[in-house]
Chains A and B, each alone.
Chain A
Amino acid sequence: MSAISSKPGPGNLLRTQGAQKLLAFAGLIALVAGFSLASPNFMQTPNIIAILQAASVNGVLAVAATLIIITGGIDLSVGTGMTFCAVIAGVVLTYLGMPMPVGIAAAILAGTCSGLLSGTFVAKLKVPPFIATLGMMLILKGLSLVISGTRPIYFNDTPGFTDIATGSIVGMIVPAVPLPNGVVILFAVAGIASYILGRTILGRYAFALGSNEEALRLSGVNADRWKIAIYALGGSIVGVAGILIGSRLNSAQPALGLGYELDAIAAVVIGGTSLRGGQGTILGTVIGALIMAVLANGLRILSVAQEWQTVVTGSIIILAVYADMLRRQRAAAAG
């Protein structure tokens, strides 16, 4: 029997909700420690920056995916949705020559609209989320290719666009910490999403949808509307990811995107969010994204072949979910 805490509710809450984050966090620390011992190149500032930079796009997508997954749904369209948003930004900035803020707004709007659409399919037409977003995934991929004429759109005419992700405002203020903007954006998006989930009515309903949608409906809540709102919010975050990837590559690459959704879902799962819905945290997801980036980077530094990196990542996902299962069982046994 594990120790029984005599503390009432709140302590208990921290214990159960904090545990997975702790678990994932401990995993992250262990990975970092392991790689630093294995290679002196790992803990170098440029490498750390590279890791964070690499985590930023997947991290932002994973935040979007977390919102949907908490409602008991899934979003397979985040990857190609991201590309679609980048292409829209490319069209607005490069083809139409509009100023940068307009391009950014257009990308986020495009993401929001695609989220609205997925949400409507799911909530109103009752298409299962897996199918609805699978369809959206293909639709958005196709549209990206059609709109761009299958050619990359470069942002050369928009000075400063690459700085959105790769510049460093923090570095300008504190030269010792050249933290790329992309990472700052990830933390900002994560912070906002976390606040929305934890503190607002939308967030509360997201959890309620995943926990017992019918009970929410019978409480007189317009469950469909809130569900659509969550998908739209997720879509707008995908728009942010679109800007980030466009900025990093200085181009919208219409063929890119497929496969990103699986990385995002992997980060969510490693971060302890249940695919059954009703529970999950953004912090866990961010840690999950970091774990994946550290893993990829560390294995590369150790010259592990790309093929094997994929095998390791897959194993880590299973391990993470297994560890989570164990924790839950122990929690259940302890009451």
Chain B
Amino acid sequence: MSAAMETVQAAPLISMKGIDKSFPGVHALKSVNFEVRSGEVHALMGENGAGKSTLMKVLSGIYAADAGTIEHDGRPVEIASPRQAQEMGIGIIHQELSLMRDLNAAQNIFIGREPRTAGGLLIDEKKLNAEAAALFEQIHLKLDPRTPVSQLTIAKQQMIEIAKALSHKSRVLIMDEPTAALNDAEINELFRIIRKLKAEGVGIIYISHKMDELKRIADRVTVMRDGEYVGTVPAADTPVEKIISMMVGREISDEPPAIPDLADAETVLEVRNLNRGREVQDVSFSVKKGEILGFAGLMGAGRTEVARVIFGADPLASGEIFVHGRKITIKQPQDAVRAGIGYLSEDRKHFGLATGMDVATNVVMASLERFAGAGGVLKDPEIRAIARRYIDQLSIKTPSERQEARLLSGGNQQKVVVAKWLLRDCDVLIFDEPTRGIDVGAKSEIYRLLSQLAAQGRAIIVISSELPEILRLSHRIAVMCEGRLTGFLPGGAPQEEIMRLATQRNENRAPAGELSEDAKMGEKA
């Protein structure tokens, strides 16, 4: 870094010093320092519950700090509300998507700032949609602005959040785990946008649990642990191992699975010719006892949809499902659970957690009947004891099992959902993006648990958009593309092979090669 650069960067855009914040029972931030300069991507790293989101909520006016100062362009400021933060040019893309599901994409982006017509009486829908479309153009998102958010996948919702943040023309942009739900292509797109913003002098604060992204996008890295500031290092010349050990305070070893010999193992789940619209076409596969079958594919390839029809969350158009060789009819999730199938949804906020209820209740949600005595009276001490066991086992960071789930950090909420299905003790477990938003340490803990569950004789299906995760876990890999199974590969297959199958379009369909996933989403909507 040259001397000239130094002087240019002398006054950081934002500088937070000695920030302290407590919640009842949690000291979330302990005198934390953090700064971001104009034109830099500053990564904020740390384990689940380290306090990253909290620090960013302080910066964006959602929480007031108990102590500490914030300087904006070198001048001390008070940021008392999100509105004030916005006016100062601080934009944030929250970890928990906060779009209104019943409004459409364009309405969500311009909520509160709708272009008006008829002397301010009416909303100018035409202009609204045109402006949204222009934003989508900028981020190469092919989507009809009038698509209701409730019809969009999490990835698309994330892209809309990004469009919304861009529309604010912020000088500081906070991205709290923006890539947690994105596939590789979308991540590349996001990085392209980030580089563009960077060149325009925007300071970007980037939170992620994906270590490989650091080298690709970050300039500096600040690490937090247990609410404390650990240090700030340049991203380029610090080895990833060093950053990890700063985060977790220890080394982590992660070896790929020893693939067991399953030749004689019993087939637990078999599905034949499953069909549902365009998303699931003629899907047949089986999983054996003790096997981990990974489902790879691009976002929108139909993997989640396959899981949902097997689980009875969406109706099946045609096809057969066998469990332990017996044909079963699954009309609703409870039929699946009774047959011994569990499904961990990719969208924990809407489908996984009762966020207003406590951790213990969420952990036992799928097995509550087991804890009910005569007359349906719950054995509360047992419920709490079992919840505490999982809190320990998965290192869920919470002051107690009585804490409301919504007060946990994102990654810890995910662990609660995982605990729910571990407790239910199913023969077949379908994990849809099980480690979304989970830190490196906990991730390897969950991998270990999944391998252990398989070794204990369960059949496991893992759906993941992260290839390293698929490779790290799977004994066998099924690859999907556009609603079809394009092939099976042995565990540890080369990435290129998986990618080839994941992009193998159906030849019969005319210009399918040109149609991107996004375009199809729009079409459907």
Residues of A within 8 A of B (CB): 1, 4-13, 15, 199-202, 204-205, 207-208, 211-212, 214-222, 278-279, 333-335
Q: Is B376 a contact partner of A217 (Cβ separation < 8 A)?
A: no
Nearest chain B residue, comparing its CB with the CB of A205:
B368
A312 to B361 CA separation, bound complex (whole angstroms) = 40
Q: Is B351 a contact partner of A200 (Cβ separation < 8 A)?
A: no
Q: Within B284-340, which residues are at the interface with A (CB < 8 Å)?
A: 311, 313, 332-334, 336-338
Nearest chain A residue, comparing its CB with the CB of B21:
A335
**Is residue B431 contacting chain A, with contact meaning CB distance below 8 A?**
no
The answer, among B313, B332, B350, B369, for a CB contact under 8 Å with A201, is: B369
Q: Is A5 a contact partner of B350 (Cβ separation < 8 A)?
A: no
Q: Is B350 a contact partner of A215 (Cβ separation < 8 A)?
A: yes
Q: Is A211 a contact partner of B66 (Cβ separation < 8 A)?
A: no
Contacts of B66 in A (CB 8 A): 1, 4
The answer, among A7, A205, A211, for a CB contact under 8 Å with B24, is: A7
Most buried by B among A1, A200, A221: A221
**Is residue B380 contacting chain A, with contact meaning CB distance below 8 A?**
yes
Residues of chain B at interface, number, CB under 8 A: 49
**Is residue B8 contacting chain A, with contact meaning CB distance below 8 A?**
no
Q: Is A220 a contact partner of B336 (Cβ separation < 8 A)?
A: yes
Residues of B within 8 A of A (CB): 22-26, 63-64, 66, 311, 313, 332-334, 336-338, 342-343, 345, 350-358, 361, 365-366, 368-369, 371-372, 375-378, 380, 398-403, 407, 420, 424
The answer, among B22, B352, B400, B402, for a CB contact under 8 Å with A215, is: B352
9 nearest interchain CB pairs? A220-B337, A9-B400, A335-B23, A9-B402, A219-B366, A211-B354, A8-B399, A200-B376, A201-B372
A10-B402, A201-B376 known; A218-B24 Cβ under 8 A:
no
Nearest chain B residue, comparing its CB with the CB of A214:
B351
A267 to B401 CA separation, bound complex (whole angstroms) = 32
Q: Is B365 a contact partner of A216 (Cβ separation < 8 A)?
A: yes
Contacts of A216 in B (CB 8 A): 354, 365
Q: Is A220 a contact partner of B369 (Cβ separation < 8 A)?
A: no
The answer, among B22, B338, B355, B376, for a CB contact under 8 Å with A4, is: B22
Nearest chain B residue, comparing its CB with the CB of A3:
B24
Nearest chain A residue, comparing its CB with the CB of B399:
A8
Q: Is B376 a contact partner of A5 (Cβ separation < 8 A)?
A: no
Contacts of B407 in A (CB 8 A): 335
A8-B25, A217-B333, A219-B365 known; A200-B356 Cβ under 8 A:
no
Q: Is B25 a contact partner of A211 (Cβ separation < 8 A)?
A: no
A1-B66, A9-B400, A15-B24 known; A221-B366 Cβ under 8 A:
yes
A204 to B407 CA separation, bound complex (whole angstroms) = 20
A200-B377, A215-B350, A221-B334 known; A10-B400 Cβ under 8 A:
yes
Interchain nearest-CB distance for A227 vs B (Å)? 13
Q: Is B402 a contact partner of A13 (Cβ separation < 8 A)?
A: yes
Interchain nearest-CB distance for A88 vs B (Å)? 27
Contacts of B313 in A (CB 8 A): 217-218
Most buried by B among A7, A11, A208, A211: A211
Q: Is B378 a contact partner of A199 (Cβ separation < 8 A)?
A: yes
Interchain nearest-CB distance for A20 vs B (Å)? 15
Q: Is A212 a contact partner of B350 (Cβ separation < 8 A)?
A: yes
A4-B66, A5-B25, A200-B376 known; A221-B402 Cβ under 8 A:
no
Nearest chain A residue, comparing its CB with the CB of B63:
A335
Question: What are 11 A-B contacts with C-beta separation under 8 Å?
Answer: A5-B25, A12-B24, A200-B377, A201-B369, A201-B377, A212-B353, A212-B354, A216-B354, A218-B313, A219-B420, A335-B23
Contacts of A335 in B (CB 8 A): 22-24, 26, 63, 407
Contacts of B361 in A (CB 8 A): 204, 207-208
A331 to B66 CA separation, bound complex (whole angstroms) = 15
Interchain nearest-CB distance for B244 vs A (Å)? 29
Q: Is B400 a contact partner of A220 (Cβ separation < 8 A)?
A: no
A200-B372, A278-B356, A335-B63 known; A8-B366 Cβ under 8 A:
no
Contacts of B368 in A (CB 8 A): 201, 204-205, 221
A4 to B399 CA separation, bound complex (whole angstroms) = 14
Contacts of B22 in A (CB 8 A): 4, 335
A150 to B204 CA separation, bound complex (whole angstroms) = 74
Q: Is A218 a contact partner of B372 (Cβ separation < 8 A)?
A: no
A13-B402, A200-B372, A204-B361 known; A218-B25 Cβ under 8 A:
no
